[in-house]
A and B are shown apart, each in its own frame.
Chain A
Amino acid sequence: MSGKLNFKLRLWRQKDKVSEGKFQEVEAKNISPDMSFLEMLDEVNNDLMRKGEEPVAFESDCREGICGTCSLVVNGLPHGPEKGTTVCQLFMRKFRDGQTISVEPWRAAAFPVIKDLVTDRDAFDQIIAAGGFVSVNTGGAQDANALPVRKCDADTAMDAAACIGCGACVAACPNASAMLFTAAKISHLGHLPQGQPERERRALRMVAKMDELGFGNCSNHYECEAACPKEISVEHIARMNRDYGLSALLGTERERGNTGAG
């Protein structure tokens, strides 16, 4: 059995949206190498509470890499140093004993910090509400195979649908742009027959919403793709650009000017 590990943590502490934050240095002692990063933080919080201090706030839910709730920048990398891994699935054996680890929240104008390591990612919900859905009339559920989908389209749609909406793409982007997220959603539905009727409207409205919410402009650094825990490709961004350009200039969508509300 491998021995226990110790770390020096620099945790971002911030009281609320308006206060200035700063780093707090905390020791993490006797950490099992098999703990996940979040379990390590749980231990640190237990220690803090035992000492009567306030635990550090951070978000998590599934802790198995599928919900996109966890959102920590570890040593300057969203979700930490591992490729294709959420921070809840990052294990402490990936760090050196005695290493100093800085932990910060996502930082982007559109993702304000609420407290410590927790940010408000409501902007993503707003982008989805602007068009990231298919409208379905109520009624009996359709037969599962009533709409044939080519295997290659199903695969590409699935690659895009792997997006868990965590926001690491925005956090990693030097311009805090939300292009990869938005593109993944547009591409996911755009590859399926159910997504076709609203395809133009979806591209126009979601891009307009994204611009409105104060995300930066993509300048093709591809940090997003590298940081994405689901390794979603920037090809989807190209596809969105194509969809958007064609819909805006040649599209027949009547409400194209009315890109505000969902």
Chain B
Amino acid sequence: MMTKDPMISIRKLYKVFGPTPSEMMQHVLHGLGKEELLDQHGHVLGLQDINVDMQEGETTVVMGLSGSGKSTLIRHVNRLIDPTAGEVLIQGENILDANADALRGIRRTQMSMVFQHFALLPHKTVLDNVALAPIVRGDAPETYKKDALHWLERVGLSGYEAHYPHQLSGGMQQRVGIARALTSNAPIMLMDEAFSALDPLIRTDMQDLLLELQKELHKTIVFISHDLDEALKLADHLVILKDGKVVQQDEPQRILLQPEDDYIVDFIADINRARVLKVRSIMEPIKLDSFVGQVDQEDTLEDVIAMTGGDTSGTYQVLSNGQPVGQLDLKTLMRALVRTQASASKRVI
């Protein structure tokens, strides 16, 4: 997993909001927290000591409650916000070294962005909105029109190219927003609460659309969400923020099974573990010779329970692409369904 260089690498990132942020850095480095800094010095500690690697082709979901610094964090990736300290490396290059021209170049070719409230241009047609990136780059219409129409079709909006945004529903507008991001052909896609403003059913549709597109496009996606179900559904790598700090970051399954502190435990308390946890996360190495049946490692625990018809004993062989890779005792499965406590080593006493 860790063989290739990360696409985006955030190192020791700090962001302080206020009139004299750099003078506040020494207080922050001496361990002043968000609340103390606000009370004693009137500055807002937006982000503190963020270290996150985002791998190429993966979806990194940053989640946290409102005000935890998610939007601030994602805006550092394309430098809509400049950090107070730290670095942001895109394919090994620190974008804080880029001058205005270079930065525009990076934004035009390396990354695109999808916004919570869509942020479409109301006076432009859907087609012109979708083609924003090539238009900004100064391409001729005949070179981008085909591309724009193609992506519009991929998000399910063929035939709407001459409409104006206000003629479309919220879900359709966000499809335009996604098509606009895809038309830029940038490898990185930043999505700030892209689905939060949509109705639940439409939100599920959009998540499915994103998963389907991602299966073939393999973009490096940074997705912001405050919805744990959404995060677990989309994430290859899950980063949990609280008060501008990373509390835990890992593969989502591992966060569910080994939460590192009570905050995470509370966070994941209400999740339907059977539906989210997968066999591969709780299987053990093969020890037995005979099994009562076979399951796939990508099956969820709910799939397994449905298959056993409620039987809670016996051991199944776990397959991956038809090859045995482990075994699953149903007792282990049952234990995994129970809420986990924070692992003792990290527990706050």
Mutual binders A and B: no
B interface residue numbers (CB < 8 A to A): none
